[in-house]
Amino acid sequence: MSFPGQSIQRAWHLVDASSQTVGRLAASIAPLLKGKHKPTYRPNADCGDYVVIVNAEKVSSLSFINLVFDFHL
């Protein structure tokens, strides 16, 4: 799909994932994949960019196993 008068310009983004949590990393990558950072963004068009994630093995995640929830009735 193309925009009237222009072709879609796709860029490559290199994202370093070391020392980031999974949620913050996903929140920073999602607009790049959808193309929301571009002035030619349309929700019904595929205008996103390419994303390469480096150091994905160093992504820190929150451990939900060790959480203890206290609640009072």
Q: What is the pLDDT of residues 29-70, one digit of tens each?
A: 999 999 998 888 888 888 889 999 999 888 877 655 566 777
Closest to 64 in 3D by CA, of 21, 17, 16? 21
Closest to 13 in 3D by CA, of 26, 32, 31? 32
Identify the three-state secondary structure at position 3.
strand
Q: What is the model's pLDDT at position 19?
A: 83
- State the pTM of this model: 0.71
For residue 6, the 8-state DSSP code is B
For residue 27, the 8-state DSSP code is H
